[in-house]
A and B are shown apart, each in its own frame.
Chain A
Amino acid sequence: MNTAIANIKTVAKRELSAYFASPLAYVFIVIFLLLCGFFTFLLGGFFVRGQASLTMPFFFWHPWFYLFLVPAVGMRLWAEERRVGTLELLLTMPITTWQAIVGKFLASWLFLALTLALTFPVVITVNYLGHPDNGVIFCGYVGSWWMAGAYLAISCITSAMTRSQVISFIVSVVLCLCLLLAGIEPVIQFLTGWFSPTVVNAIAFCSFFTHFENFKKGILDSRDVVFFLSVIVFSLFTTAVILRGHRQG
């Protein structure tokens, strides 16, 4: 058990340092923060609302930011290893495939956590201007992080499928878009005309959007956490299957 944790830590450390060794990390952080600022204060109408809350002006946009930004973080995870050939090196080291997968995933997820944490000026601003419910804000952050993890896990799958980071990015954006759209109002209404309410509910249940909703409002529902967790576990499992498939030839 101890060696497993040590191995995961080693893999994660390498992966994290790889982010910061290239401009990717810095570009990503800067763009994410710029987008957050722009959308929150201008498009989100933070000042116009006159409410000390981040639910609408800030967290509302997160599913849409992640749609493009998280696949950009996840696309290199396996595609790059396969392209350069280091996959052969990594998977012949005395670690299991699972340890490698979890290590890499955790590294990217921590990186996303760091990026998210760097949006703290928004929290300071809202606290300076009024008296927001910081519990709700915290809950929003937790939900946002879980959702980012689910996006990331999907990107892991697409990254393992191909040597090309571009293909990985595009496929993963499309997959995430489907999972996102399944939960928004117009799509649900459209589907109601076609399927029985049970099916529509089932489809809507699979959406990231639906499960982020509660977090935004400050409700920490275990069902939502379990949902994101199962998406992550399932995706990482699929990644393992794909990686094994490649090696099988």
Chain B
Amino acid sequence: MIQVDHLTKFFGTKRAVDGISFSVERGEVLGFLGPNGAGKSTTMRMITGFIPPSAGRVTVGGFDVTENPIPARRLVGYLPENAPAYTDMTVAGFLNFAAEIRGLRGERKKQAIARVVELCFLESVLHQSVDTLSKGYRHRTCFAQSILHDPDVLVLDEPTDGLDPNQKHEVRGLIRRMGATKAIIFSTHILEEVDAVCSRAIIIDCGRIVANGTPAELRGKSEMAGAVTLRVNGVAASAVSARLYQIPQTKRVIVLEEKNGTVAVCVYPKPNTADGELLRAVGEAAQGWRIEQLRTEEGRLDEVFRNLTMPDTQK
């Protein structure tokens, strides 16, 4: 549904987005990750046609966003950053306006508004001025506007920003459910959201894509991925460490803690070690010790994120 092809944007001489290419199909939820100023919002603005790209092109449902903007925009629902809404209107008035400008009239308009009001829990504030809404409600009002015409493509810039934990949970559920039939791109700072919602994630830094894959694939990039944690009782740390180093797959052994005769160590695998191989080897090596805990670590997204987006000096 969305094709992004070598998209580049200059602001003056500053290169905000630098040759980004990716595509999103129906049924996919793409998480857009990156530090502040990485170019997430700029990319989304180019996809929705708000700002024209300096080079490259975006097509939505086959329509070029710059050359054929109106049919492309009909397919898109957009929640901009900070969820702007007309402050001088009531929630009902705002949704009514959004529906009419989307070409919904009469009974269809009524149904569409009723549907999003229910989905976004807006009944209680329907006749309140947008000006007086709390941030969460304003956010949901703008979100409601974006799904009003049941679009095939949703572009959501930080959809859970400023929501309380319950609302966050609700919105994530909504995105996941809608992701089954739509192509969705959403940006976030919150890494747990990637696991909760995305079928795929892209990490961008300084305008470039530095990683693109399923959340599991991204976690696999972590040093921690496949590492084995072992906790044994009654053996000295040096003895544990010495025996574990004799395993051929071991790259490094780190003692995490030594207290009351219990030793906890983490064994990092060498690259290209098959799944479970290290766990079995450590299990065998630990025979005769009193094992309290033995498990394989999954990679950690925040570590991957830090490694990919921090300048080398700060790692």
Chain A interface (Cβ within 8 Å of chain B)? 3, 6-7, 10-11, 13-14, 17-18, 21-22, 84-86, 88-89, 91-96, 247-249
Contact = CB atoms under 8 A, between A and B. Distances in A.
A248 B84 CA distance: 20
B101 A7 contact: yes
Nearest to B12: A249
B84 A93 contact: no
Candidate in B9, B86, B89 with the most chain A CB atoms within 10 angstroms: B86
B219 to A, nearest CB: 34
Contact of B80 (A21, A85, A247): A85
B48 A92 contact: yes
B145 interface: yes
B84 A89 contact: yes
Interface string B35-64: 000000000010011111000000000000
Interface string B161-188: 0000000000000000000000000000
B289 interface: no
A86 B103 CA distance: 19
B187 to A, nearest CB: 14
B128 interface: no
B97 interface: yes
Interface stretch (B69-77, B113-121, B193-201, B274-282): B69-77
A96 B68 CA distance: 11
A248 to B, nearest CB: 6
B18 to A, nearest CB: 15
Most buried by B among A86, A88, A92: A92
A44 B74 CA distance: 55
Contacts of A6: 100, 103
Q: What DSSP secondary structure best describes chain B's contact surface? A: mixed
Interface residues of B, number: 37
Given A21-B88, A21-B89, A249 B11 contact: yes
B89 A84 contact: no
B50 A18 contact: no
Contacts of A18: 86, 88-89
A22 B78 contact: no
A213 to B, nearest CB: 38
B87 to A, nearest CB: 6
Interface in B247-271: none
A248 B42 CA distance: 11
B70 A96 contact: yes
Interface of B: 9-12, 16, 45, 48-52, 69-71, 73-74, 76, 78, 80-82, 84-89, 93, 97-98, 100-103, 129, 142, 145
B145 A89 contact: yes
B70 A247 contact: no
Contacts of B71: 94
Contacts of B100: 6, 10, 13
B82 A85 contact: yes
Contacts of B51: 247-249
Nearest to A96: B70
B70 A94 contact: yes
B88 A22 contact: yes
Given A247-B51, A249-B11, A93 B102 contact: yes
Contacts of A95: 70, 101
6 contacts: A10-B101, A14-B89, A18-B86, A93-B98, A93-B101, A249-B12
A91 B97 contact: no
A88 B101 contact: no
Contact of A91 (B50, B98, B145): B50
A6 B71 CA distance: 16
Contacts of A3: 103
B13 to A, nearest CB: 12
A94 B76 CA distance: 9
B89 A88 contact: no
Contacts of A17: 89, 93
Task: Select the residue from A3, A7, A10 with max chain B CB neighbours within 10 A.
Answer: A10
Contacts of B85: 84, 86, 89
Nearest to A249: B11
Contacts of A248: 51-52
B73 A93 contact: yes
Nearest to A22: B88
B50 A85 contact: no
Contacts of A21: 88-89, 129
Nearest to B74: A94
Contacts of A86: 84-86
